Amino acid sequence: MKILLTGRNGQLGWELARALAPLGEVIAFDRSSLDLAVPDQIVSAVRSVRPDVLVNAAAYTAVDQAETEQDAAQAINAVAVAVLAEEAKRARALFVHYSTDYVFDGTKDTAYLEEDLPNPLNAYGRSKLAGEQAIRSIDGHYLILRTSWVYAARGKNFLLTIRRLLRERQELRVVSDQIGAPTSAEALAHASAELLRRHTPAALGDARGVYHTTAAGYTSWHGFATEIARLERPDPPVRIVPIASSEYPSPARRPRNSCLSNEKSRRNFGVELPHWVVCLRACHGALQSAAQLDTVTRYRR
């Protein structure tokens, strides 16, 4: 199987490059080899690779910055996605794309289902929804995997920010009225690869549609930070104080309820991610091992 992967230096792209490798030949692009802001580059990359599966892990992900860079967000998350979907269809390839909980407004009381009506609160969410709509209207063979609160051992994310702050401060004030599923990029990449291992691209194409794909379980940002602190065991312990979203104003509004039901993915494909705490422990373990190796290397120098 020939797999074209975009965004290979992102949190998810990095993990996908590793997870997809056993499935066949992975041709992975970063921004310097394929700039999604330039549609011609997309066309020539897909036409020269001629993939069986095109996995798009690249995106404009700066949620707050998108409020003042709406054109840039639309260019990468909607216009480029439409070109990728067109080219995948032309190549008769399966298009695997990632979207977000931020397509919803968070007013629902229970977990969102795939058929619930999107109503994004911010420019990033609108650009991702426009990407989803473009893929659906092009109507090739596609999977849109909506995920949430992605973190990894590398990149810019909540886990790494909290780890740093735990070393710098005695008290952290963290939002407790936004609920969602922290999702490890490694677990999401593994689940994506598992989909392709268990089902042929043709079978996945027949089941085309949107699938919610997050870690199991839910928590608040405060709950997430508390679990990170528990694993890190800072001494003296850092107080993690719950605050309301209104006490932490940001340029982009965020949904209060970001919980996505993974039932459809489990039912159709038999694939589900572990509980978010299990994934967090694994990521924390990887960070600890990396730190230990770093210490050993420095000691030997």
Ligand X SMILES: NC(=O)c1ccc[n+]([C@@H]2O[C@H](COP(=O)([O-])OP(=O)(O)OC[C@H]3O[C@@H](n4cnc5c(N)ncnc54)[C@H](OP(=O)(O)O)[C@@H]3O)[C@@H](O)[C@H]2O)c1
By CB under 6 A, the count of residues binding ligand X is 26
CA distance 278 to 182: 11
Question: What number of other Cβ atoms are within 10 A of residue 21's Cβ?
Answer: 13
User: Of the candidates 5, 46, 58, 85, which one interacts with ligand X according to CB under 6 A?
Assistant: 58
Least gap, CB of 213 to ligand X (angstroms): 10
Among 60, 95, 211, 269, binds ligand X (CB under 6 A): 60
Provide the annotated active-site residues: 124
CA distance 214 to 280: 13
Cα(81)–Cα(128) distance, integer angstroms: 9
Residue 70 touches ligand X, criterion: CB under 6 A: no
* Amino acid, res. 31: R
Helix (H, G, I), strand (E, B) or coil at 220: strand
Our finding on whether 3 is near ligand X (CB under 6 A) is no
Region binding ligand X by CB under 6 A among candidate stretches 5-13, 17-25, 43-51, 192-200: 5-13
Complex with ligand X: residue 37 or 203, whichever CB lies closer: 37
Name residues whose C-beta falls within 8 Å of residue 300's C-beta, 6 or more positions apart in sequence. Answer: none
Helix%, strand%, coil% for the chain, nearest 5? 50, 20, 35
Given candidates 23, 27, 31, 268, which one binds ligand X under the rule CB under 6 A? 31
Nearer of residues 149 and 218 to ligand X, judged by Cβ: 149
Residue 18, interface with ligand X (CB under 6 A)?
Answer: no
Site string for ligand X, 128-147 (x = CB under 6 A): x------------------x
The alpha carbon of residue 52 and the mean position of all alpha carbons in its chain are separated, in whole angstroms, by 22
Q: Whole-number minimum distance, CB 93 to ligand X, in Å?
A: 18
User: Is 104 one of the binding residues for ligand X (CB under 6 A)?
Assistant: no
Tell the smallest beta-carbon distance from residue 183 to ligand X (Å). Answer: 7
Q: Tell me the residue type at 234.
A: P
Cβ neighbours around 258 below 10 Å, total: 22
**Is residue 122 classed as helix, strand or coil in its secondary structure?**
coil
The contact set with ligand X (CB under 6 A) reads 7, 9-13, 31, 34-37, 57-61, 76, 98, 100, 128, 147-150, 155, 185
